[in-house]
Structure 1
Amino acid sequence: MTAAPPRLRPLLDQFDFACERLLGRLTGPVMDSGDGADTEVEPLTDDEYRWEPVPGCWSVRRRADGPGPRAAFLAGGGSWGRDTAPYPHPWPPPVTTLAWRLSHLTEMLSLRADHTAGSREATREEHPVSGDAAGAIAAFEAGAAAWRQALLSADDTALDTVGYCAYPYGSDPEEPFLDIVWWVNQEVLHHGAEIALLRDLYRASRANPQT
């Protein structure tokens, strides 16, 4: 296999680190605490996966139950979907659950991988949404692996090619591929941090049920 272009390598390393850290936070038995020490963490449960920290959250829901508050429809395929609405989105924006954020990340990675080095036909309407924690984590791992493989297919010329990724739900057709790689990294990093905070809040809510 051809080595990754030098400009891609630090972004690829950053992506690997972000995914490894997020998976550690979701599955345990320990996670990177940020200071080099391992912190024990319990595996994600279905209850925590769909926990709504405040009323009116957007989440993933059984399609038969319909969308949640202020959502217009459930995105995705299968018996579960993710709350969403067409632009302009509701204001102020709803708080989203861990399930919503993980599903969003998985969809983005899987579809961008397909529109970079796959059929270029995958759609949000057909993308499956997981209703349980184990399925969601496995789907995220698969999406991350597919995106990483798509990155390895890019040579130095591809990094500068506008529209190398034809993902139709963002600015990808108008952006050089290197910019899209950077964008995907920041999505994993910032949503990973949000997921970590939600895990902290869930744990604290169970330790202090009256607060």
Structure 2
Amino acid sequence: MTTPPRLSPLLEQYDFARERLTARLTGPVMDSGDGSDTKVGSLTDEEYLWEPVAGCWSVRRRTDGPGARATFLAGAGDWGRDAASYPHPWPPPFTTLAWRLSHLTEMLALRADHTAGTRALTRDDHAVSGTAAEAIAAFDTAAGAWRTALLGADDAALDTVGYCTYPHGSDAEEPFVDIVWWVNQELLHHGAEIALLRDLYRERGPRQG
């Protein structure tokens, strides 16, 4: 299928954001933004689960229960992501790198399924990763699934309201092209948050000099 002209720049932006975030998580180098390579180490389990402030929301073993102000652990498997029913706690809890990456991965996986899959998966079906390596692999799989779903969309699909039936966003009220734009925004802003957390982790602790 030929990619609709309206979709091409959004797809290119998505690919760039995905590649940049993956490199930021895995190394050995990442795009610094000016075309040069910057060395970066691969994400470790300690960094993945690092809680920079008290009361963070994160991903946790189910046997440990939810964290502060969370009422349950979302997702499937031995690990879950801190969550609470509406209304959510205010001010919002600070979320760890693990929480943000899990949230982003779940969104991509479920939106892909509700666009070009079974259109039946829920948050309860999505496995939460307890290690950095598992989380990066899950993100790559989900990001690839969303890209495949985009490649199946023609011009008519881009204009179709409710083409994606994802139940946790505005998908039922907006044309699919607007949802594609929104997913890019999610990838860009959560990717930036994750990059900042990596910088903070690198600089944690007392400075000398």
What TM-score do you get using the length of structure 2 for normalisation? 0.98
Number of the residue aligned with 1:202: 201
Q: For the aligned residues, what is the CA RMSD?
A: 1.0
Q: How many residues align?
A: 208
Q: Do structure 1's residue 109 and structure 2's residue 108 form an aligned pair?
A: yes
How many Å apart are 1:209 and its aligned residue? 6.7
What is the CA deviation profile of residues 83-141 of structure 1, one whole-angstrom value per residue up to 9, with x for unaligned ones?
A: 01111111110100000000000000000000000000111011100000000000000
Number of the residue aligned with 1:10: 9
- 2:38 aligns to what SS in structure 1? strand
- 1:174 aligns to what SS in structure 2? coil
Query: Can you give the 5+ residue segments of structure 1 that lack an aligned partner in the other structure?
Result: none
Q: Distance in 1 between matches of 2:201 and 2:114?
A: 36
Please give the residue correspondences for 1:6-85 in structure 2 after superposition, counting only pairs within 5 Å: 6-85=5-84
Q: Distance in 2 between matches of 1:3 and 1:195?
A: 34
Q: Distance in 2 between matches of 1:78 and 1:209?
A: 39
Please give the residue correspondences for 1:35-184 in structure 2 after superposition, counting only pairs within 5 Å: 35-184=34-183
State the AA in 1 paired with 2:97: L
Identity of aligned residues (%): 76
What TM-score do you get using the length of structure 1 for normalisation? 0.97
Which runs of 4 or more aligned residues in structure 1 lie more than 2 Å from their structure 2 counterparts after TM superposition? none
Q: Distance in 2 between matches of 1:110 and 1:171?
A: 16
- 2:46 aligns to what SS in structure 1? helix
Q: Distance in 1 between matches of 2:39 and 2:146?
A: 29
